Amino acid sequence: MRNFKKTMPKKIWVNGRLVDPRRPAVSVFDRGFLYGDGVYETIRVYDGKPFQLEPHFQRLARSLRGIGMRVPFGRAVLGDAVASVMAANRLADGVVRLTVTRGEGALGFDPASCRRPTVVLLAVPFASHPAVHYEKGVRAVFVRLRRNAKNALDPSIKSLNNLNNILAKMESMKKGGQEALMLNQEGYLTEGTISNIFFISGGVLKTPSLDCGLLDGVTRSVVLSLAKRRSLAVWEGRCRPRHLFSAEEVFLTSTTLEVMPVTSVVDEQGRLRRIGSGQVGEWSGRLLRDYRRLITKATGKKFKI
């Protein structure tokens, strides 16, 4: 999206107030701006109703705990904030980005001078992914860049420090992929830059376990429970890239992608590898439909497929 200003929200929510986004709302001394010192959530709203709001708030609390902070507003205030920022922008289908930083403070890493966290909510229209991606699947690229180590900057904290993901995304785009796949320091599969990865192998649904160092995706949890409801065997553990190459199906999950099939993968040597038959697999389609059925049940939103 080159001209992102066209989608500039009318109002943004900053520390309890709806304000004009063209006016500076956050200090240049804000630690989020200076150091990426904060965390965030991306919440999908369908037909005016947020989906999986509770798990997003729970993860926000875990991320904040992970950086030694607490949720600065009560659950009810944040719930109202999501609704009011959507309404103020006359949006029914959209994405709410909720950012919490350690706030304004003196230069330097010592956070002692930070008095008040900064909380910003942005609501933007949902930019839907091309239908062809769901019909034909996307290409994922194994990038050389490794995922942040769990004992350095734990990927289970959804932090504002996104350079690891951004550099991986840039590498994958250069290599012609829609998503990057990152390995950890031991060479085990972790996740994509904005998504979790799943594959079907021998009729079993497999995904890297959380101890590999990855974000505990809200969609990942939903899909795991949908699979169990379908009596599809589920396995979480340590996966090597070759396990993906020989898989019957591969797909990505995220709040915005929902369930996105992957039909080809570029390996670390730059070789293109077709997944299964090269077509969208049965389980990928079934789980996407199940996921959307759940959205319809929770929000009333209707889908074509």
Residues of the shown chain interacting with ligand PMP in the complex, contacts defined by CB under 6 A: 42, 165, 191, 193-196, 215, 217-220, 253-255
Least distance CB 43 / ligand PMP (angstroms): 9
* CB contact at 8 A, 217 and 199: no
CA distance 111 to 27: 15
| Count of CB atoms situated within 10 Å of the CB of 82 | 22
What SS3 state is found at 131?
Answer: helix
CB of 212 to ligand PMP, least distance (A): 12
CB 279 to ligand PMP: min, Å:
25
Beta strands, E only, 70-214: 94-101, 118-125, 138-142, 179-183, 189-191, 196-201, 204-208
9 versus 213: smaller Cβ distance to ligand PMP: 213
> How many other CB atoms are there within 10 angstroms of residue 133's CB atom?
18
Give the CA diameter of the chain.
Answer: 58
Distances (CA, A) of 218 to 52, 166, 275: 8, 21, 25
In the complex, the smallest distance separating the C-beta of residue 68 from ligand PMP, rounded to whole angstroms, is 21
Buried b (16+ CB within 10 A) or exposed e, 148-166: bebeebbbbbbbbbeebbe
Nearer to ligand PMP, 20 or 211 (CB): 211
In angstroms, give the least distance from the CB of 195 to ligand PMP.
Answer: 5
Provide, rounded to whole angstroms, the least separation between the CB of residue 253 and ligand PMP.
6
Enter the tokens of residue 37: 């010192």
